């Protein structure tokens, strides 16, 4: 459903992998995430400004709601009047979020399915917007390759990652792929001594058999820690600039605790490359908040004074 976004992003990630990242998948994910976050920064700023405008007129809205609580038609008229007078779009804070969500979901597809979106295996030429027939050819090629991977070698539910892991360990088997796969498709997923194609696990026997899984435990841990720091940092900045911080504090506090736990849980259920993406995104989010504090929020406070 999001192929029209995912394929161009996949081609962009492929370009980064072969140029800026020196053919290292981990470094490519970091640079790719940085570019995407910079692209989305204006949306974050727009979302903040819309939310702040809505917050400023809350006393007027509450007064109108109280006055016309028994007259819905008049209530709607007065609220629209307030929005028009103060040039506020009630959906302004949500619109940037709706734009961001498809991009974030497409990112997940691109990073977890590199053979499909980055490399477009099974077709002669790579394109930004492949048609349905081309996509079907790519999917068929990937399924054929997956059929060559022994079930015992399938270490995750992600078919592309399983294929890359298996043929990277068994390059002699490339001759069995009927030309669908060659050494150029075997992405270098070794990042700081860790295979980003592996899925982190707390299974003791798996860790004993392969000590690399011990290092991979850092990925979910760092994903959770950076999520907590990112949310905490954002919450502090939001409350410092909110007139309703006392009402918002309990819900924000609970989310700050719940989201890191959920992030760690998901990081254990996906290849480590996705965890690296979350870690990078969280660190960039913290830097974005620093930028917001200095150049948007502070500037706004000065203007108000």
pLDDT of residue 114: 94
pLDDT per residue as tens digits for the range 15-56 = 999 999 999 999 999 999 999 888 888 877 777 777 778 878
The per-residue pLDDT of the chain, averaged, comes to: 85
Q: How confident is the model at residue 249 (pLDDT cuts 50, 70, 90)?
A: low
**Residue 213: inside a domain:** yes
pLDDT at 245 over 50: no
Number of domains in the chain: 1
> In 134-232, where do the E strands start and end?
190-191, 194-195
pTM of the model: 0.83
DSSP per residue over 64-99, as a string? HHHHTTT-HHHHHHHHHHHHHHTT--TTTTTHHHHH
**Residue 119: inside a domain:** no
What is the domain extent for residue 302?
A: 190-305
**Residue 263: inside a domain:** yes
**Residue 230: inside a domain:** yes
**Residue 154: inside a domain:** no
pLDDT at 238 over 80: no
pLDDT of residue 2: 87
Under 8 Å between Cβ of 277 and 263: no
Could you give the C-alpha distances from 6 to 43, 120, 283, in angstroms and in order? 19, 12, 23
């Amino acid at each position: 459903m999001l192929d029209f976004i995912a394929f161009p992003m996949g081609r962009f990630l492929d370009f980064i992998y072969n140029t800026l990242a020196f053919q290292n998948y981990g470094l490519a994910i970091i640079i790719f995430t940085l570019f995407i976050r910079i692209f989305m920064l204006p949306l974050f700023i727009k979302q903040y400004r819309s939310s702040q405008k809505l917050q400023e007129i809350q006393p007027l809205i509450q007064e109108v709601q109280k006055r016309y609580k028994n007259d819905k038609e008049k209530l709607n008229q007065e609220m629209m009047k307030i929005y028009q007078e103060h040039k506020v779009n009630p959906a302004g804070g949500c619109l940037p979020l709706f734009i961001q969500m498809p991009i974030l979901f497409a990112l997940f597809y691109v990073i977890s399915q590199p053979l499909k979106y980055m490399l477009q295996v099974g077709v002669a030429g790579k394109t930004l917007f492949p048609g349905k027939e081309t996509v079907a050819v790519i999917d068929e090629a990937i399924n054929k390759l997956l059929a060559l991977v022994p079930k015992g070698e399938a270490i995750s539910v992600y078919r592309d990652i399983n294929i890359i892991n298996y043929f990277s360990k068994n390059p002699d088997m490339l001759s069995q792929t009927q030309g669908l796969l060659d050494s150029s498709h075997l992405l270098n997923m070794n990042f700081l001594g860790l295979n980003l194609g592996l899925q982190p696990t707390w299974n003791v026997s798996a860790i004993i058999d392969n000590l690399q899984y011990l290092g991979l435990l850092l990925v979910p841990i760092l994903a959770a820690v950076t999520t907590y720091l990112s949310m905490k940092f954002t919450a502090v900045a939001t409350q410092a600039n909110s007139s309703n911080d006392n009402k918002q504090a309990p819900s924000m506090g609970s989310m700050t605790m719940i989201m890191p736990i959920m992030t760690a849980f998901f990081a254990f259920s996906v290849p480590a490359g996705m965890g690296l993406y979350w870690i990078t995104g969280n660190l960039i989010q913290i830097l974005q908040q620093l930028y917001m504090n200095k150049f948007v929020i502070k500037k706004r406070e000065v203007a108000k004074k």
